[in-house]
Structure 1
Amino acid sequence: MKSTLRYPALITVLVLFLAVLFFWHLSLGYHYLSKEQLASILIFGGTPQEMLTVYDFRMVRSLLAVLIGMGLAISGAIFQTVSKNELASPSLLGVNAGAGLMVMLLIYMTDAAKGLEIWEQPLAAVLGGALAALTIYRLTYRSGHMTSTYTLVLNGIAVTAGLHALQILCLVGLDSTKFHQVNTWLIGSIFGNSWSQVTVLLVIVCLFLAFFFASHETLDILSLKEETVIGLGIPINRARFLYLMAAVVLAASCVAVAGSIGFIGLICPHIARRLVGVMHRRFLPVTALLGGILLVLSDGVARVVIAPDEMLVGLIVSLIGAPYFLYILARSRG
């Protein structure tokens, strides 16, 4: 009974905290708006300049922070379930690096004056992330079975290192304009997007969240020992491949918009697991909310820490995530 009551209370607290952070995030920017002014604009409207500032710039950025945070966190949770390893995440298993390399190659080969179509960068990111994940997946399997969950992570680190080396080689051949564009994207930033990106990402994130939540019983089974999964009649290799590729597409779609933001897919599932356990019916919603909270908070901090300038959000997430990763690593070895 206590557990039953605790979960709704936790969800309520997380939703309210995310709402407060979202409102705070909307108030940030070069054009100062008090909390009262912002509330008035949201409820009653404002001048054309205020409406443009809030809805076409700040609202886009705030919504993307929520969606990207949720998408990266959920994809990390699926990676950890499939690999049965709490160190697994899109950034550690080559998805971010593969997506980054493919986007970099696209930018390298595109005429700067022509620019990119809205669909080209997301498609390149998904293709690059999928190829990297498939390579790691293939390297980890022998005779139809995963050799070791730690082998999966080690292969991911090795492939990621190789992809980063190729990225550096590509950077050498870029002009100053393309170099700045690629460098900003590689570190991670959600600045400068539009409602088109919000609409596309909203559909993708909602569809995959619904898919994973509807599959919570299968995901629970996949987290068990391999012999138990097979005994329950689940085609384990096919199921792992399906959920892995779905997580890759979700993560790569987020990376295509925000750049290579790491650690969210590692930290949030780990914290959620400690809060509500491993049952995916509860684990996935908490993970999604924590992902939105972490990225909105990180982007807000990135905007105020050196105001009026701002840091790239990927740096803030890394400053938070790197120590936590070391903590998880030390705890796993223990």
Structure 2
Amino acid sequence: MRWFVLSMFFLLIVLIFFISMNTGETPLSPNEIIYTLLDGGTSFQHLILFEFRLPRIVISLLVGAGLAVSGCILQGVSRNALADPGILGITTGSGLMVVLFLAFFPSELETPIYILPFLSLIGGIITAAIIYLLSYKKQEGVLPIRLILTGIAMAAAISALMTVLSLRLPPQKYDVLAVWLAGRIWGTNWQHVISLLPWLLFIFPYVWYKSKVLNVLSFGDNLAIGLGVKVEKERLKLLLAAVGLAASCVSVSGGIGFIGLIGPHLARRLIGADHFFLLPAAAFAGAFLLILADTIGRSILQPAEIPAGIIVAIMGAPYFLYLLAKTDK
């Protein structure tokens, strides 16, 4: 059953992948797409497919998978169904560093794309550390609801800082901030794909290798300690992995929330709580949701475009309120 669900996710991703390649102001028929992929087609079709659409589609898949796995880790480590890098403010903190760099980097110089994930990681780690410290109480530890509320407050504060920043930027620099805040995928060339891919290829296998640790941590610290797990050490490693995934994704995407919340929950309902299967299922679910949102955003109001972050928020906000209503602590 689990392998069947993973196979269905994969087939859905392949289907929406081909639909997305046909979505845009200049539609391409399935035959034209296949012919162009096989090194046929006109130079114009090559330009549209290989330089504009495919990089954006691949970025959508990678970012969706990365954010969903990050959310899955956070939910497992914190035992909190509401944990998500966007809701906790991690993506906002990461994005602030990226926006500051892009806004004040001299426009006459070429932006070093490969440094953006590192800057984003710094912002994410600082934000996560502040949220953890503000949520921690010596006698009680970190309560789930306190963690969520602190994260929401941090995200609101950083968003307000970005708004103040936007008032002081010239028009051409303001566009950078506006695109990020709207949640529009802005990394749309192969350089952005190359800058993101190594992070995911390194972190994904590590997290999957730690799937048994995540399973044990989800049962509580006392049981984990009794089974010989070094709880604080393993939690810190997994939290860093979650921040690394979210930060690297933010460095090539906009402020996209809720993927890290919806993806793991959808996967958990279909495949169960075993992280060995849950992590890849969450990655597939997140990739599918984001590429679906981006495809809808590009097609529903052509030639205008609705940012993927807005489409995801429309889907995710009601589900977040539903989960919040069910949460007792």
Structure-1 residue corresponding to 2:56: 61
Q: 2:28 aligns with which of 23, 28, 33?
A: 33
SS of corresponding position for 2:237: helix
Shift of 1:109: 2.7
**Larger CA deviation: 102-111 vs 231-240:** 102-111
Per the alignment, residue 322 of structure 2 pairs with 327
Q: Please state whether the residue corresponding to 2:53 is helix, strand or coil.
A: helix
Mapped to 2, the partners of 1:118 and 1:255 lie a distance apart of: 13
Equivalent residue letter for 2:323? I
Structure 2 residue aligned with 1:187: 182
Letter in 1 for 2:230: P
What is aligned with 2:227? 232
| Deviation of 1:57 (Å) | 1.4
User: What TM-score, normalized by structure 2, do the two folds share?
Assistant: 0.95
- Displacement of 1:264 in angstroms is 0.1
Gaps of 5+ in 1: 1-5
The amino acid of 1:314's aligned partner reads: G
CA distance in 2, matches of 1:172, 1:245: 33
Q: Alpha carbons of 1:192 and 1:72: their partners in 2 closer, same or farther (altered >3 Å)?
A: closer
**Cα distance between partner residues in 1 of 2:186 and 2:143:** 39
Match of 1:248 among 243, 252, 262: 243
Q: Which amino acid aligns with 1:323?
A: P
2:166 maps to 1:171: yes
> What's 2:191 paired with?
196
Kindly indicate whether residue 97 of structure 2 is the aligned counterpart of residue 102 of structure 1.
Answer: yes
> What residue ranges of structure 2 are gaps of 5+ in the alignment?
none
Amino acid at match of 2:20: H
Which is further off, 160-169 or 318-327? Answer: 160-169
Aligned partner letter, 2:178:
N
Q: CA deviation at 1:44?
A: 4.9
Where in structure 1 do 4 or more consecutive aligned residues deviate above 6 Å?
none
Superposition deviation, residue 138 in structure 1: 2.1
Q: Does 1:93 align with 2:91?
A: no
- 1:3 maps to which residue? none
Deviation at 1:202, TM superposition (A): 1.9
Moved more, 158-167 or 90-99: 158-167
**Count of residues in Structure 1 that have an aligned counterpart in Structure 2:** 329
Q: For the aligned residues, what is the CA RMSD? A: 1.7
Report the counterpart of residue 304 of structure 1 in structure 2: 299
The 3-state SS of whatever aligns with 2:219 is coil
Q: Deviations over 1:15-52 (max 9, x none)?
A: 11110000111111222211221122223522222222
Contact 2:35 2:41 (8 Å CA) reproduced? yes
Q: Is the 8 A contact 2:51 2:189 kept in 1?
A: yes
Letter of the 2:123 partner, please give it.
G
Query: In the alignment, residue 263 of structure 2 is paired with which amino acid?
Result: C
Give CA-to-partner distance per residue, 1:174-209, whole Å, 9 cap, x none: 111111111101222224521111122222112211
1:128-167 equivalences under 5 Å are 128-143=123-138, 146-167=141-162
